[in-house]
Amino acid sequence: MFHGELVYRTHSIRQLMNEALSLVSKPTRPLLLILATLAIIAHINALSCGWIWDDDSYITANQLIQSPDSLLTIWKPGAFLQYYPLVLSGFWVEHAAFGLQPFSFHLINVLLHAASAVMLFRLLRAIAIPHAFWIAALFAVHPMTVESVAWATERKNVQSMFFALASALLFMRSLDASSHRRLGFWLASFMLFACALLSKSTAIFIPPCLIMLALWTRRDLNRWYWLRVIPFFALGIASGLFTAYIEKTQVGAVGGDFAFTVAERLQLASRNFLFYGMTFFVPLEQVFIYPRWNIDTSNWILWTAAIVDVLIITRAFFAWRRTRAPLLLVLWIGAGVFPALGFIDVWPFRFSFVADHFAYAAIPALATVFVACCAIVLAYMKRSERALDVTMALVITICIALSWRATAKYANEETLWRDTAAANPTAWIAHNNLATILLGQAGEAITNGDTAPVERLAQDALDHASMAYELCPSEMTAAVNRGEALRLLGRNEEALLSVEDAIAHAPQLAQPLWLRGRLLELLGRDDEARAALLAAAEHPTDRRAEVFARRDLMRLALARNDYAETINQCKRIIDLDRFNADMIANLGALYAASGNKQQGMRELWRALSIRQNFSSKAVFTATALRYVQVALTTTLEPGELRNARFLADELQKNAKGDVSLRYLQYALLLANGDERARAEIEAIEKGARAAEATAFADEIAQFLATHPPATP
């Protein structure tokens, strides 16, 4: 009996899938293709965009998506800053397939957005919304969607929207399905809703929308309908509460920036609601970080938005008996933007209360309002239906052009923050992040030995960091960036004051302590520097700052010729990063320099055995050369001799004609009893003296002196 039931259910699922596919009827297929094409055209430039802002924490520097065995860990709450495991799992698969190149990540964002436009059209057609094609087309191309599509990390939005619309479509399908298929459609809808929440919890707009869909289609809200909807509400509320908890406890949405009274939150919500409607209707400019407006409940002018919102809702309410559309549309928009209205604290409120990607879930509703308004105005002007098609075609064309313009800022992170700082000079985070980028460029220039642009980059960084500090004195990173820029400019005393200001604002953080130690060292105050670096190194949570601090402690100890302390700090760093080949090589060199050559060779070989982890080929080559040089000064085991000879041969192969490497090859042979190498070494010494390479020749002579011919 169980087997028969299983076969029956399997057959039903297949029929369910076939019916779901049949939703795309032949007459609408060209329209679906046009919608997808419009979405791709509007966002085609996103395919050439790079990484921006928090793409590093989500993708490029996220070990969870880069480790081959972390797929299950992704689903563990607390494993990542936010709990969106379905998005991270997708990133994990993409990284495994395509690596860390942004094209595939942007391509999938574009395709998901296009698929959502198609899904929206099918849903609107299913509930008989007029002008469904134009509504879906406007959603597909509107410039307010660019932020979600062109920003790789906002896969959260586009993926959640796709699953949410698919869930709503199948839920409506379940209402009209035959009795033996109804449960299958409902389960599929509920599972898709769960997928939407696991992509981003803003999908909580779906449960209230299911009620609104019933009201629009004039279905009876009986207890059976409520029994179908209540599980959606339960799961959505649980997801929303969990996300709010994560925002406060892990993301950091706490403190004075979020201390609002009930009245202040009402004022904020009314302004946010009106802002998204006005920005959608007049999308002249999309700013990545909009100005963070002031909230002042004593200023009655700032309550204007609340008055307008109340008038809109009241007008829609009194129109209910004549037409349900206005109130349902207002409620739909409210459900879409509710998580970003201000009733729930989210970390980005630190620098702005609104963002285009906050409104992504509400854009289908806003598009519906826009098209409906156009239809009403044209009907009032007694224009034909053709006039709406012409008007909307023009609107779509303009929106595509605006979307292209909006996408340009996402080319790379520096372009994004420069555009943001120009459009919103009060955006402290834009100035601060620009300073960070410029300091990174200065650091790379120094590493590459190109000191020419360092002063210019440091000065530019100082200007932006100072602006960020002026706009937000409590932001620790602004003071840190300012201090680092001053250090690069040689103004160490001023840099120290800036870093100490950062410590005063954030005494619980390790990074400013590390920077203070480094500046004290530059100022010659080594004892104070060591104390500050030890405090940073012993910080319980910041492992990155600990590594940097222990590197500096190594340098201070080495300057004192304290090999024991230097080795101890080096080992502590390796404990934190056991596959750091550069640091293991340093440990080997330290052991060898302190006289423990056997242990030094073991550590050097350990580093060489994980050659793929070296920071560069040059560091690997230097480590291989160090191993051979140490091998020349000690008695070798047979295995060590083989290793040394192998490395010497490989070095010679990669640098043909290098006489010093050829000398090392023969010196290894002679040091281990092969007298046939002596003649070759003497010839190399003679050639070096002839070429006036006196230091090299003296080195060879000293080696020969310490390895005299064996007495007959």
pLDDT digits (tens, 9 = 90+) for 518-559: 899 999 999 999 999 998 888 777 777 888 899 999 999 998
Indicate the pLDDT class of residue 136, thresholds 50, 70 and 90.
Answer: very high
Mean pLDDT of the 121-137 span: 94
Indicate the pLDDT class of residue 110, thresholds 50, 70 and 90.
Answer: very high
Q: What percent of the chain has pLDDT over 90?
A: 55
Choice between 148 and 5, residue whose per-residue pLDDT is larger: 148
Given a contact cutoff of 8 angstroms between Cβ atoms, the answer to whether 136 and 117 are in contact is: yes
Residue that is written with structure tokens 């860990």 in the block: 73
Given a contact cutoff of 8 angstroms between Cβ atoms, the answer to whether 58 and 102 are in contact is: no
Residue pLDDT, tens place only, 451-483: 889 999 999 999 999 999 999 988 888 999 999
pLDDT at residue 656 is higher than 80: no
pLDDT at residue 93 is higher than 90: yes
Query: Which pLDDT value is given to residue 404?
Result: 97
**Which residue from 482, 210, 496 is spatially nearest to 332, judged by alpha carbons?**
210
Question: Cα–Cα distance between 598 and 630 in angstroms, integer?
Answer: 9
Residue pLDDT, tens place only, 275-307: 999 999 999 889 999 999 889 999 999 999 999
Query: Which pLDDT value is given to residue 23?
Result: 45
Neighbours of 141 (CB within 10 A): 27
What predicted TM-score, i.e. pTM, was given to this entire model?
0.80
Query: Which pLDDT value is given to residue 8?
Result: 38
Six token digits for residue 191 = 């599972």
Question: Cα–Cα distance between 110 and 108 in angstroms, integer?
Answer: 5
Q: Report the b/e string of 167-182 with b at 16+ CB within 10 A.
A: bbbbbbbbbebeeebe
Residue pLDDT, tens place only, 15-73: 544 544 444 455 578 899 999 999 999 999 999 999 999 899 999 988 899 888 889 99
| Residue 226, CA distances (Å) to 208, 235, 556, 615 in order | 11, 14, 70, 60
Residue 548: enclosing H or E segment and its boundaries?
Answer: helix 543-559
- Give Cα 18 distance to the centre of its chain: 38
Mean pLDDT of the chain: 88
| DSSP secondary structure code for residue 225 in this structure | H
515 Cβ contact partners less than 8 Å away, ≥ 6 residues apart: 480, 483, 484, 499, 502
Question: Cα–Cα distance between 193 and 168 in angstroms, integer?
Answer: 8
| DSSP secondary structure code for residue 710 in this structure | P
> If 0-12 CB within 10 Å is exposed, 13-18 middle and 19+ buried, where does residue 323 land?
exposed
Given a contact cutoff of 8 angstroms between Cβ atoms, the answer to whether 64 and 74 are in contact is: yes
pLDDT at residue 156 is higher than 90: yes
Question: Cα–Cα distance between 247 and 243 in angstroms, integer?
Answer: 6
Query: Which pLDDT value is given to residue 668?
Result: 79
Residue that is written with structure tokens 């602004």 in the block: 478
Question: Cα–Cα distance between 323 and 317 in angstroms, integer?
Answer: 10
Query: Which pLDDT value is given to residue 179?
Result: 80
Residue 426 phi, psi (nearest 5)? -85, 0
Residue 708: enclosing H or E segment and its boundaries?
Answer: none
Query: Which pLDDT value is given to residue 710?
Result: 67
Question: Cα–Cα distance between 709 and 467 in angstroms, integer?
Answer: 72
How open is the CA angle 324-329-330, to the nearest 5 degrees?
Answer: 110
Question: Cα–Cα distance between 558 and 564 in angstroms, integer?
Answer: 9
350 Cβ contact partners less than 8 Å away, ≥ 6 residues apart: 257, 429
What secondary structure, in 3-state letters, does 584-639 show? HHHHHHHHHHCCCHHHHHHHHHHHHCCHHHCCCHHHHHHHHHHHHHHHCCCCCCHH
- Give Cα 145 distance to the centre of its chain: 18
Six token digits for residue 11 = 């057959």
Q: Which amino acid is located at 516 in the chain?
A: R
CATH topology of domain 417-635: 1.25.40
Question: Cα–Cα distance between 518 and 394 in angstroms, integer?
Answer: 60
Given a contact cutoff of 8 angstroms between Cβ atoms, the answer to whether 493 and 485 are in contact is: no
Question: Cα–Cα distance between 227 and 234 in angstroms, integer?
Answer: 11
Six token digits for residue 351 = 């620098």
Indicate the pLDDT class of residue 705, thresholds 50, 70 and 90.
Answer: confident
Cα pseudo-dihedral 37, 41, 44, 46, rounded to 10? -100
Choice between 11 and 674, residue whose per-residue pLDDT is larger: 674
pLDDT at residue 234 is higher than 50: yes
Given a contact cutoff of 8 angstroms between Cβ atoms, the answer to whether 287 and 420 are in contact is: yes
682 Cβ contact partners less than 8 Å away, ≥ 6 residues apart: 704
**Which residue from 239, 234, 228 is spatially nearest to 186, judged by alpha carbons?**
228
DSSP for 29-84 reads HHHHHHHHHHHHHHTGGGGG----TTHIIIIIT-HHHHSTT-TTGGGSTTSSSS--
**Which residue from 402, 335, 404, 397 is spatially nearest to 364, judged by alpha carbons?**
335
Given a contact cutoff of 8 angstroms between Cβ atoms, the answer to whether 675 and 710 are in contact is: yes
347 Cβ contact partners less than 8 Å away, ≥ 6 residues apart: 247, 251, 252, 253
Question: Cα–Cα distance between 557 and 681 in angstroms, integer?
Answer: 38
Question: Cα–Cα distance between 293 and 173 in angstroms, integer?
Answer: 44
> If 0-12 CB within 10 Å is exposed, 13-18 middle and 19+ buried, where does residue 689 land?
middle
Ranges of each domain in the chain:
2-409, 417-635, 657-712
Residue pLDDT, tens place only, 547-598: 889 999 999 999 899 999 999 999 999 998 888 999 999 999 999 999 998 9
Residue 95: enclosing H or E segment and its boundaries?
Answer: helix 85-98
Query: Which pLDDT value is given to residue 27?
Result: 59
pLDDT at residue 10 is higher than 50: no
Question: Cα–Cα distance between 39 and 32 in angstroms, integer?
Answer: 11
Query: Which pLDDT value is given to residue 6?
Result: 33
Among 80-94, 210-224, 695-709, the least confident range = 695-709
Angle between helices 363-380 and 385-407 (to 10 degrees): 140
Query: Which pLDDT value is given to residue 5?
Result: 37
Among 243-252, 349-358, 489-498, 520-529, the least confident range = 243-252
How open is the CA angle 669-673-676, to the nearest 5 degrees?
Answer: 65
Question: Cα–Cα distance between 222 and 227 in angstroms, integer?
Answer: 9
